[in-house]
Amino acid sequence: MRYAFFLAVSLLLSGCSAFQTTPEAPPAPTRHSQEITRAQTYGLPKMGTLSVSVRGSPDDAEREIAARANQAGAVYYQFVMIDETVMPGLWYATATLYGALPAARTQQ
């Protein structure tokens, strides 16, 4: 019984580390907004959020987010959610927009 308790506690504690990510550098900025992962958002200034509703497929929602991120002048964006609504074929997507790294941080 004692070993089962220690095993359960060990598994629980090791599972908590799965929710932490190691920060990674985002890709170099380009003319168009780029999708990044959560690990790449560390230190980037948030510009806001963006939501769209699109008829079609999840790919259509992703393309619409990318186009609107470009229009908003965002350097990067990260998807928060892509989901089909109660109406079949109508997709809803939300993304967070980010700017470029501040100049002081890029020189380090």
Give first-to-last CA distance, the chain, whole Å: 52
- Specify if 35 maps to a domain: yes
- Specify if 38 maps to a domain: yes
- Specify if 8 maps to a domain: no
- Specify if 15 maps to a domain: no
Give the C-alpha separation, 89 to 27, whole Å: 33
CATH code for the domain of 72 = 3.30.1660.10
Q: Does the pLDDT value for residue 69 go beyond 60? A: yes
Q: Two tokens at 77?
A: 């964006």
- Specify if 17 maps to a domain: no
- Specify if 28 maps to a domain: yes
Give the C-alpha separation, 58 to 80, whole Å: 13
- Confidence band (pLDDT; 50, 70, 90) for 12? confident
Mean predicted confidence (pLDDT) in 27-45: 93
Q: Which residue has the tokens 């959560």?
A: 38
Q: Domain tally for the chain?
A: 1
Cα–Cα separations (whole angstroms), residue 16 to 5, 8, 13, 47: 17, 13, 5, 30
For the stretch 54-67, pLDDT in tens is 999 999 999 999 99
- Specify if 61 maps to a domain: yes
Domain of 35 in residue numbering reads as 24-106
